[in-house]
Amino acid sequence: MEPRCGGCRTRRRGSCPHPAAGLAAACFLLVGCVVAAAAPHPPPPPPQHRCSSMLSHAVAWWTVSRLLDRGTYLLDSGGSVKLAQHYLAAACQLEASNAAAHFALARLLQTRTSNVQGASAAYQRVLELDGEHTGAMCNYGLLLHTPPLRQWDDAEDLYERVLALEPKNPKALANYGLLQSVREDGKGSTTSADFLFDEAVGGSGRDPEGKYDF
């Protein structure tokens, strides 16, 4: 069958009065395909509503706060060590940037268990999050300068850091005095120890937040 003309629909070859009609139709189809291919894709679905995100953060904060409160209460009241450690470890896992949770866990590991390495790692994490956390520096210094670690120079550095921030910090002064009296590397001084103990007693201030307590 001979092709028909797009303009006059004639079948006779060479007698079509519209020689460009077929070409025009082909161009029209080609342009239509290009336009369809270039059409934008449907937009992505809108992001989750801001209120939902705020609610999630609020729930997470409340959960961490409750875990920290329960763990700290058990720690300070002499309750179950296993349960306190469970609460505090969960709080640290839920909010890895919470210095207070890591500090409470470090205190528990230092005073209620024999996990020296775990306590050391927890104190280091606190100081990574808050380089001026004097409570962590005082407790970590004591952990370092007592057996089995006996890292006297590192402990001294921590006490010096605390006293640079708070010259009358009673915990740092007392721990520093203890370090001076027990170190066995020839750098200790009973005179310095007595002076530091006197300063600790004379400069003993209040600690309403319990920042220096174990």
pLDDT digit string, tens, across residues 156-191:
999 999 999 999 999 999 999 999 999 999 999 999
Give residue-wise pLDDT tens across range 71-83: 999 999 999 999 9
Contact residues for 75 (Cβ-Cβ < 8 A; gap 6+): 84, 88, 104, 107, 108, 112
Q: Give the domain range for residue 86.
A: 60-131
- Report the C-alpha gap between 7 and 109 in whole angstroms: 92
User: Whole-number mean pLDDT of the chain?
Assistant: 81
Number of domains in the chain: 2
Please indicate, yes or no, whether residues 90 and 153 belong to a single structural domain of this protein.
no
6 in a structural domain? no
Contact 145, 151 (CB under 8 A): yes
pLDDT, position 36: 47
DSSP state of 41: P
- How far does Cα 198 stand from its chain's mean position? 39
Please indicate, yes or no, whether residues 121 and 149 belong to a single structural domain of this protein.
no
Please indicate, yes or no, whether residues 113 and 136 belong to a single structural domain of this protein.
no
CATH number of domain containing 80: 1.25.40.10
pLDDT, position 46: 55
- Residues lower than pLDDT 50 in the chain: 1-3, 6-14, 23-24, 26-39, 204-214
pLDDT, position 202: 86
- Residue 130 CB burial class (10 angstroms; 0-12, 13-18, ≥19): middle
pLDDT, position 210: 44
183 in a structural domain? yes
Contact 179, 75 (CB under 8 A): no
37 in a structural domain? no
Please indicate, yes or no, whether residues 75 and 110 belong to a single structural domain of this protein.
yes
